[in-house]
Amino acid sequence: MENKNLSAKSNFEVLASNLSKEERSDILSQIQQDKLDVSFPSEKSDNQFEQEKRREDKLTLSEKLRQEPLLFRFILWLKSLFLNSSIETVYNNSVLASLSKNLEHDFPDVIDCKNKLLLSGFYSGLLDLKRVREFFKPSFDSLEQDSGLFYFLLGFTVMPEIVQDIKSSCDVYSYSFEKPLPADIRNILFTKLDGIVSGISSEKKIKMSACSREFERLRMFVKIPLGTVMSKFSSGSSGRTCSFSQIKDDFDSLARILLGRFECSDTTLSVLFMSGIPQKDLWNCSTSSYEEIAEKVNSSSAEISLLNTFAEKIPLKKFGKVISENSLYSPLPLSYSDLWFQKFKEQWKVVLDKRLKMWNKDFKKSEIKKKLKIYFSLEDFPKYPSRPWKKVGADYTEKYESSIGFLNYYLKNEFPKYKQLLSTITLEGKFSIKENMYEFSDMISTLNSIITKNDFLVERLSSSGEYGSEITHYASSEKEPDKEKLRSILFEIEGNALDLADMFAKFLTGFENLLFAMLGEKSTVYYGPLANLNKIMGADNKEFKLNLEKFAHSVKFASEVLQAIIEMENISV
C-alpha cells in the first residue's frame, strides 16, 4: 500500500511539475470553491461548425484530449490512476458515457446503450430501407451482368451530340455490299470512336461523373444485405432487439452508404429505369420518355426521401461510436470508381462489334440473294408455307426459317422436274462401281424421307396443326406458364427445322458427288460413271444426258445455297 501511495505521489509530482504557477492556483481555487464538475462534455451538433468538425474527425484521441480544459484533463488523470488504465482509455470511455446518456434520452425507442441493444425503432427504420431497396432492386438486377448499359444510355441523354457523332462516323453500314469489308475494319471503327470520345467537353464529363456517382451510391445501397441485418433482431416482450456485437460489422457498411444526404437527379433515375427495358438494338435505341418511366421517376422521390429521413432521424456516426466503443469512430468515406468514361467507350465497342456482325450477315444475305437470282430466278428468299411464329410478334424470327423455306421450295418446285429422270436411272442404270448402286438407292430413300418429314412439319405448322394451333393459343397470353409453354414450342420447332435442314444439306453434298460421277465428271476410287450412260433410253439419249447434267448442277447449286443460308443463320447478333 505504501509503495502504491509513493507511486501515486510520484505521478502527481510529475504532472504538477509540468504546470505553471497560475495553472496550479486555478486548479486549487476550483477545488476549494467546490466547483469540480465531473460531467463529461457532449459532442457538438453534426450540423454546426462543419469545417471544424471535419478537422476534428482527423484528430487522434491524444490530440483531442489536449484540447480539453485543464481541470477536466486533471480529473481524467486522477481517474486513470485509480483504474490503472491509460488516460486515453478513460477519456474515450467518458466521451462514450456522455454520448450514450444523450442518445438514450433522445432516442429511447431506438437504442439502449446500457444494455448495448438496438431497439424496435431502429428495426422499423430498417423496414423502410428494405422497402426502398425492393423498389430499386429490379432495375439494378437487370444491370448485374452489364453495368456498361447504364453509362451507354446515359450518354444518349447527357451528350446526344457525341452519340450522334459516333453514329455518323462509325457506322459500318456506310460501306456498300458490293465487296467485303477491309480486313482492318474493326480497328478503323475503334480508332474513330477513340477520337470522338476523347473530345468530350469538361462540362459533359462533369455531368456524366455526377450521374455516375449517384448511380454507384444507389447501387451500393441496393447491395446492402438488409435481410441478413434484420434477421439478427430477435422478438421479445419489449419488441425487436439486436445486440451491438451482432450488428457491429453490418452497421459500419450501412453507415458508410447512408451517411450524408442522398441526391438522385431525374436524369440518373430515368436512365436507370430505362436500362431495365429490353433493347433489341442498342444502335437504334430510344431514350424518349416512356409513361412508365416517368411514373417511376415520380415515385422515386418518395423512396429517396425515406433514405434521407432515416439518416436524418438517426445520427449514424454517433450510434457507430457507441456500438464500436470508439469515440473516434467515423465511417470511411465512400470510394467511387469513376469508370463511366471507360464503360461508355467499352459499351460502344460492343455495339459496334454487334453492328459489324449484322453487316456481315446482311452481306452474306445479299450474296445469297444474287445466287438465288442466278441459279433459280428467285428475287428473294422463298417462304415456308406455314409460319405461325409470326403471331408471336413482329420482332420474332424463327432462326432457320430461310433454310427450311429454301428446302421446301426446292422439294416442291425443282425436284419434280427431275423425278422421271431418277426413275429411269433406278430402272435402267448400270453402275460401274457396284457400291454406287446401293448408295444411289439409299440416297433416293433419304430423299423420300426428307420429303415426308417436310410435309409433316408443314402440316404441324398449319393453323389446324399441332404447332400452329398451340402457338395461336399461347401467343396472346400474358400468363407466365403460357409464355414458358410458347418458348418450349418455338424451341422445339427450331430444333426440327435445323435437323431437317442439316439432313437435306448432307443429302445434297452426297448426291452431288454421285450425280457428277454418273456423268463421268468426278470419277474416283469410290465413284464411277454409269456404264450405260450413252445407251439409256436408246441410242439417241442426248435429252437424258442433258437432264442428268442439269439435275447435277441443280443439286450443286442447291447445296451451295443451303450451306450459305445455314452459315448466315448461325451468325449470332
Q: What is the pLDDT of residues 238-280, one digit of tens each?
A: 789 999 999 998 998 899 999 888 889 999 999 999 887 777 7
CA distance 148 to 351: 11
- Residue 237: its pLDDT value, please? 81
Q: Would 529 be classed as within a structural domain?
A: yes
- Residue 57: its pLDDT value, please? 58
The 10s digit of each residue's pLDDT in 375-427 is: 999 999 999 999 998 888 766 778 999 999 999 999 999 999 999 999 999 99
Q: How many other CB atoms sit within 10 Å of the CB of residue 564? A: 18
**The residue type at 100:** S
Q: Are 391 and 506 found together in one domain?
A: yes
Q: Are 456 and 470 found together in one domain?
A: yes
Q: Locate all alpha helices (DSSP H) within 198-259, ordered by sequence.
A: 202-223, 226-231, 244-258
Q: Kindly indicate the confidence band of residue 4, based on its pLDDT and cuts at 50, 70 and 90.
A: very low
- Residue 156: its pLDDT value, please? 92
Q: Are 82 and 116 found together in one domain?
A: no
The 10s digit of each residue's pLDDT in 470-490 is: 998 888 888 888 889 988 999
DSSP bridge partners of 235:
240
With a cut of 50, say whether residue 14 has pLDDT above it.
no
Domain-terminating residue out of 85, 106, 127: 106
Q: Are 499 and 544 found together in one domain?
A: yes
Q: Are 127 and 165 found together in one domain?
A: yes
With a cut of 60, say whether residue 32 has pLDDT above it.
no
170 and 193 in contact (C-beta within 8 Å)?
Answer: yes
Q: How many other CB atoms sit within 10 Å of the CB of residue 314? A: 19
Q: Kindly indicate the confidence band of residue 12, based on its pLDDT and cuts at 50, 70 and 90.
A: very low
- Residue 24: its pLDDT value, please? 53
Q: Cell numbers at residue 101, please?
A: 446518456
Q: Would 485 be classed as within a structural domain?
A: yes
What would you measure as the largest C-alpha separation in the chain, in angstroms?
145
Q: Kindly indicate the confidence band of residue 233, based on its pLDDT and cuts at 50, 70 and 90.
A: very high
Q: Would 474 be classed as within a structural domain?
A: yes
Mean of pLDDT values over 99-112:
94
Q: Would 207 be classed as within a structural domain?
A: yes
Burial grade of 215 (CB within 10 A; 0-12, 13-18, 19 or more): buried
**DSSP-derived secondary structure for 417-455:** GGHHHHHHHHHH--BSSHHHHHHHHHHHHHHHHHHHHHH
How many domains would you assign to the chain?
3
Residues 6+ positions from 336 with CB-CB distance below 8 Å: 212, 213, 216, 217
Q: Are 439 and 303 found together in one domain?
A: no
The angle formed by the CA atoms of residues 304, 309 and 315, to the nearest 5 degrees, is 130
DSSP type of residue 530: B
Q: Would 372 be classed as within a structural domain?
A: no
- Residue 53: its pLDDT value, please? 53
Q: What pTM did the predictor assign?
A: 0.75
Q: Are 345 and 472 found together in one domain?
A: no
With a cut of 60, say whether residue 341 has pLDDT above it.
yes
- Residue 184: its pLDDT value, please? 95
Average pLDDT, the chain: 86
Q: Would 279 be classed as within a structural domain?
A: yes
CA distance 254 to 93: 24
Q: Are 560 and 446 found together in one domain?
A: yes
Q: Would 9 be classed as within a structural domain?
A: no
DSSP type of residue 328: T
Q: Would 39 be classed as within a structural domain?
A: no
- Residue 8: its pLDDT value, please? 40
The 10s digit of each residue's pLDDT in 35-73 is: 434 333 444 444 443 455 555 555 776 677 677 777 767
Q: Are 129 and 100 found together in one domain?
A: no
Structural domain span for residue 308: 108-350
CA distance 509 to 391: 35
Q: Are 120 and 262 found together in one domain?
A: yes
CA distance 152 to 282: 9
Q: Are 209 and 273 found together in one domain?
A: yes
Q: Are 222 and 141 found together in one domain?
A: yes
CA distance 271 to 297: 10
